[in-house]
Structure 1
Amino acid sequence: MTDLTTASADDRSLRILSTGDLAGIDISLADVVETVEGAYRTLHAGQSDNPRKLTVKPADGHSVAYAMLGRDGCRDVVAIKTSYKHGLDKGRDEQHYYTSLTVYDDVTGLPLAMMDCSRIGSLRTPAVSALLARECAAPGARSALVIGTGTQGRLALPFLLTTLPDLDRLMLSGTHPEGIAAVREQVRSYFPDREVEVVTDLRAAAGDADVIVATAGGHTPAAVEADWLKPGALSVLVGHGLAPSALHRADRVIATSEAQMNVTGTDMADADGKLPAVDAEFPSVLAGVTAGRGSATERIFAYNSGLVVTDIALGHRFAQLALAQGLGTEVALWR
């Protein structure tokens, strides 16, 4: 059961959780990691459904839209997430991005909530990268490099420190002063005793890093090549910042979903337009069915594409916290 059966007044109303509503909810990084990990384990157990996402993109590539439907069998909820980004051919300040999540109780049949999904995504994605690092980084990993200072880059280091607390060198590659300042502020707010080292020599930094998380935007010139990486390095691709060779020459390839990687990872294809086969999907790694790595010296490439079941789990968690605080607005949507 969802424990949210009172979230909506009746079957014709819907609780709307705005950006401001969700911004006021306090949730720990450990809570987020636990919620996301639980969603993966439930999916691997066959209790949840996560169909392939639908994608719409015009020929000139100026926008992209996704629709993702899923069911969480542990929470007994069904949800659909939509994502739309416009202005991919323009600078960051000229782009528009909207994403939402609508959740329904699959026991009562009633709608639970519709919410802005931007904060959920900004937490879920770095939590997945941190789980990938926990399961796939070489034993004794001590250094991490994050490429990019946008939404996904700003919490990457705090989440990595949550799952790999022994990291003692935190490197950041970025070009936007406000983004660099935001990353430092996020690390300071969660881990006041840790410092972030801004690097300008990407090749040298990549060669020193045990874990690399690439979160940069599509216009980044950063592209870490396979021969820059040290033995045992783990490279996690979220956005951009890794060259295709980091994937094609990896000793082992892990993906949150091979099907989604084949849909959204086409920019990493080789000269023949092909992607390599995935050695393991991450839900099976978390469940202990498949090893995250085979040896301490393997160079591992991990593709972090969002699975809607993780959005559902975290969105449901936010809805629980919001309801407890009386947040949100009831809208008679179907009257």
Structure 2
Amino acid sequence: MTGTSARTDDKTLRILSTSDLAGIDISLTDVVDVVEQAYRTLADGRSANPRKLTVKPEDGHSVSYAMLGRDGVREVVAIKTSYKHGLDKSRDQQHYYTTLTVYDDVTGLPVAMMDCGRIGALRTPAVSALLARECAPPDSRSALVIGTGTQGRLALPFLLTTLPRLDRLMVHGTHPDGLAAVREQLHHHFPDRELEVVDDVRTAAAEADVVVATAGQHTRAAVESDDLKPGALSILVGHGIAPSTLQRADRVVATSAAQMKVTGTDMADDNGNFPAVDAEFPDVLADRATGRRSADERIFAYNSGLVVTDIALGHRFAQLAIEQGLGTRVSLWQ
């Protein structure tokens, strides 16, 4: 199904709020499938994902991103904006706003403008789960998530969606409410699985086949390359693993090599350089590149997120919202 507007001349814009999207039921498998299709379509050259634009003041107290893209299967164009304020403050003092505006590229009409918070909270761990499916060592049984914020809370349920044989599920965090939320999400999606809270993150990393770093920038966790077991996969989403995990990796996979150089500057070496990216993830999913070559190589994967995945998932939410009559119609251009 392509665009979700009714293909009339209705130019009103449907606004989907946080509460509108919160009430939409969507399975983890559905999310993974939508995200995977978006990557495959990009690898096939049918979608466009230009490099993101970034604005950051000299004192680093805020950061803004603007991302434009086109989904060639769904035939929609969208613009995502992201603004975070208070990077120099604690998590509860920060402000974060992100929106996605989708247009039907067949009719030329607007589809919806929506809060992109839930979309990002689902899309990012789905990408990590796909990276794990393609790049984790064979017969992986243990996973460690560092961080209990938005991206950490669904990391384990998504990992279990693509790697159901995982049987040791560890989390490291310092916020009691965050740890409780991680446990709640795990038991909601997988009631029979148990969560192990670890205090010594470096010791836990040495026992994990997959390490997913989602912590905020003020975390004290800093897993080094030497902490990782042979064959381990480390996935960087936020913070929690040191630059050595990238600089000394046997193989580097990135959702986008260009974006890694824009948003991953804290992982560069002392001269500001990055190792070469051995494979971009869309090509791995499309069987044009290899994720893992051997069981014992340590792989570093950079999950920066591509706007085409936000577009695909946002469009899916717009479809479901329209079917359910959700949202507010605004005559923005009248």
Same structural fold, with TM-score higher than 0.5 when normalized by the shorter chain: yes
Q: Does residue 81 of the first structure (1) align with residue 65 of the second (2)?
A: no
Q: Does residue 221 of the first structure (1) align with residue 220 of the second (2)?
A: yes
How far residue 8 of structure 1 moved from its aligned partner, in angstroms, is: 7.9
Alpha-carbon distance in structure 2 between the residues aligned to 1:94 and 1:292: 39
Q: Contact between 2:3 and 2:75, CA under 8 Å: does it hold in 1?
A: no
Q: Does residue 10 of the first structure (1) align with residue 15 of the second (2)?
A: no
Q: Contact between 1:7 and 1:323, CA under 8 Å: does it hold in 2?
A: no
Matched with 2:60 is 61
Matched with 1:273 is 272
Q: Contact between 1:147 and 1:216, CA under 8 Å: does it hold in 2?
A: yes
How far residue 80 of structure 1 moved from its aligned partner, in angstroms, is: 0.2
- Aligned pairs, how many? 334
Q: Does residue 183 of the first structure (1) align with residue 179 of the second (2)?
A: no
**Equivalent residue runs for 1:131-142 within 5 Å:** 131-142=130-141
Letter in structure 2 aligned against 1:195: E
How far residue 5 of structure 1 moved from its aligned partner, in angstroms, is: 2.6
Alpha-carbon distance in structure 2 between the residues aligned to 1:142 and 1:308: 31
Alpha-carbon distance in structure 2 between the residues aligned to 1:21 and 1:84: 21
Relative distance call for 1:212 and 1:264 in structure 2 (3 A) is same
Alpha-carbon distance in structure 2 between the residues aligned to 1:160 and 1:45: 26
Give the TM-score normalised by the residue count of structure 1.
0.99
Letter in structure 1 aligned against 2:6: T
Letter in structure 1 aligned against 2:227: W
Alpha-carbon distance in structure 1 between the residues aligned to 2:147 and 2:170: 11
Give the TM-score normalised by the residue count of structure 2.
0.99
Stretches (4+) displaced over 6 A = none
How far residue 203 of structure 1 moved from its aligned partner, in angstroms, is: 1.4
User: Partner of 1:242: helix, strand, or coil?
Assistant: coil
Q: Does residue 49 of the first structure (1) align with residue 40 of the second (2)?
A: no
Matched with 1:197 is 196
Structure 1 residues without counterparts, runs of 5 or longer? none
User: Partner of 1:82: helix, strand, or coil?
Assistant: strand
Q: Contact between 1:103 and 1:113, CA under 8 Å: does it hold in 2?
A: yes
Relative distance call for 1:277 and 1:329 in structure 2 (3 A) is same
How far residue 308 of structure 1 moved from its aligned partner, in angstroms, is: 0.2
**Equivalent residue runs for 1:295-310 within 5 Å:** 295-310=294-309
Structure 2 residues without counterparts, runs of 5 or longer? none
How far residue 3 of structure 1 moved from its aligned partner, in angstroms, is: 4.6
Q: Contact between 1:173 and 1:199, CA under 8 Å: does it hold in 2?
A: yes
Tell me how large the CA RMSD over aligned residues is: 0.9
Q: Contact between 1:7 and 1:113, CA under 8 Å: does it hold in 2?
A: no
